[in-house]
Amino acid sequence: MIEEIVIQSAKPNLTWPVRRCSLPTAYCLLPTAFCLLLSAFCLLPAPVHAQEIVDKMVATVNGGVQTDLITYSDLLWQLALQPNNSIVNPSSEALNGALRLIEDQRLILQEAQKLPTISPSEQEIKNARDALVKQFPSQAELQERMRRVGLSSDKFNEILEQRVRIEKYLDFRFRSFIVITQKDIADYYRDAYVPRFKSRYPGRVVPTLEEVRAEIEKTLTETKVESDIDNFLDTARERAEIVILNPV
């Protein structure tokens, strides 16, 4: 049964930039029907003047720490912050892609909350905001996308805080422990870099190993990080309880 919450209220404040909201997006699914409705109500996007905003619960995620609620608004906000994604009648494929991404984010956040020492600083959140704005043609376009999906500036800042927390946790959990040996670099240069360079740029002089050593080390590091994160999420999903309340 689809549970919808309908409210009537005033126009959101989209002031830019905004103050930081330190609370993470972890909405506990309480046992009673009344508390469940109250949790969903608190997750509604910032309302738009003279129109009704309808939100619904989509899924819950419990990675063994707590139960987080994901709403339809969460999906729209995720799409709005990704350049080139349509936010007008988004497809089921796009919505499910956003849902999968948010599920992964919630699982990582639940683990990250065990390490309060990785809490983002104000400067780190500002840097994340600046980097995100650069992905759009203009700041005005990003603000317009936020307005159309009811994403308030406070909620936007909270999402940025979560993203920085996730990145810091992944750096601590994975990137900081990766060791790339000189043999790894030499093998990659011989077996992958040189053949690919000759194929792409026939007739050009191949850079020496020393000239591309740092580039190769970064490539190998990021490849290993991605592999470790994928394995971590596969394991986390196997032991987590993810419940779809309303398919999208």
Partners of 68 in the beta sheet?
Answer: 28, 61
Q: Which residues contact 84 (CB under 8 A, 6 or more apart)?
A: none
The more confident residue out of 25 and 77 is 77
How confident is residue 114, by pLDDT bands cut at 50, 70 and 90?
Answer: confident
**What pLDDT, on the 0 to 100 scale, is given for residue 23?**
36
How confident is residue 117, by pLDDT bands cut at 50, 70 and 90?
Answer: confident
Predicted TM-score (pTM) of the model is: 0.71
**What pLDDT, on the 0 to 100 scale, is given for residue 245?**
96
Question: pLDDT > 70: what percent of the chain?
Answer: 78
**What pLDDT, on the 0 to 100 scale, is given for residue 42?**
38
Q: What value does the mean pLDDT take over residues 194-198?
A: 97
pLDDT tens-digit series, residues 48-74: 333 344 689 999 999 988 999 999 999
Q: What value does the mean pLDDT take over residues 219-235?
A: 95
Question: Which structural domains are found in the chain, ordered by start?
Answer: 4-175 (1.10.4030.10), 179-231 (no CATH)
pLDDT tens-digit series, residues 22-52: 333 333 333 333 333 333 333 434 443 333 4
SS3 assignment for the chain: CCCEEEEECCCCCCCCCCCCCCCCCCCECCCCHHHHHHHHHHCCCCCCCCCEEEEEEEEEEECCCCEEEEEHHHHHHHHHCCCCCCCCCCCHHHHHHHHHHHHHHHHHHHHHCCCHHHCCCHHHHHHHHHHHHCCCCCHHHHHHHHHHCCCCHHHHHHHHHHHHHHHHHHHHHCHHHCCCCHHHHHHHHHHHHHHHHHHHCCCCCCCCHHHHHHHHHHHHHHHHHHHHHHHHHHHHHHHCEEEECCCC
Q: What is the mean pLDDT of the chain?
A: 82
**What pLDDT, on the 0 to 100 scale, is given for residue 246?**
95
What is d(CA 174, CA 176) in angstroms, rounded to the nearest whole number?
A: 6
